[in-house]
Amino acid sequence: MSPMVTGTTDNAPDQDFHPGESAATAPVEDEDGLPFWEFAARGELRVQSCAACALPRFPPRPCCPRCQCFASEWRRVSGHGRLWSYVVPHPPLLPFYEQHAPYNVALVELAEDPRIRLVGNVVAAPGAGLGSLDPARLSIGAPVRAAFTDPAEGVTVPYWLLEEA
């Protein structure tokens, strides 16, 4: 499994990903995942779909799991979804995150297709930092919408905001 943003899960000693801070690593520029980050930089949430059978897929990969077609396209999605799962790490897993605790790591299923799930953080308001949302406000099934933040120059990542039910 190749991470789309190096440093978010691999704990590489020379790379740190700091949501809401100035130091962040750039997305891995692989052929399959690069368009996701290019669209995110424009404030668009798009998902790779098969050009032959239209099956959406995430994370991006070269071949459709349904029809084995290698042709794909990137379809814009609404950015609306629901909280499928979340965790509040206690204690924070990495030293940097200690100052942001408590913070959440959320798995959001998209409204367009519940099989498409994206990992991110739910924050209190646009531009709010990691850990800005009281974890007590989170509940499975809560409606959310995507927004974007620039944790470092040239790096744009999606995050999530709670919507009124």
In this structure, are residues 114 and 130 in contact, taking their beta carbons and an 8 Å threshold?
A: no
Q: Where are the alpha helices (DSSP H) in the chain?
A: 34-41
For the chain, what are the domain ranges?
A: 29-76, 78-165
How far is Cα 62 from Cα 70, in angstroms, rounded to an integer? Answer: 6
Smallest Cα–Cα separation from 25: which of 159, 119, 157, 130? 157
Please determine, looking at this structure, whether the domain spanning 78-165 carries the CATH number 2.40.50: yes
Neighbour-count burial of 135, counting CB atoms closer than 10 A to its CB (0-12 exposed, 13-18 middle, 19+ buried) = middle
Ramachandran angles phi, psi of 115, nearest 5°: -80, -15
Write down the pLDDT at residue 154.
85
Q: pLDDT digit of tens for each residue in the chain (165 aa)? A: 333 444 333 333 334 444 444 344 456 678 899 999 999 999 999 999 999 999 999 999 999 999 999 999 999 999 999 999 999 998 877 787 788 888 999 999 999 999 999 999 999 999 898 899 999 999 999 999 999 998 878 889 999 999 986
How far is Cα 19 from Cα 161, in angstroms, rounded to an integer? Answer: 15
Q: What is the CA radius of gyration of the chain?
A: 16
Placement of tokens 């962040």 in the chain: 24
Smallest Cα–Cα separation from 44: which of 158, 144, 124? 158
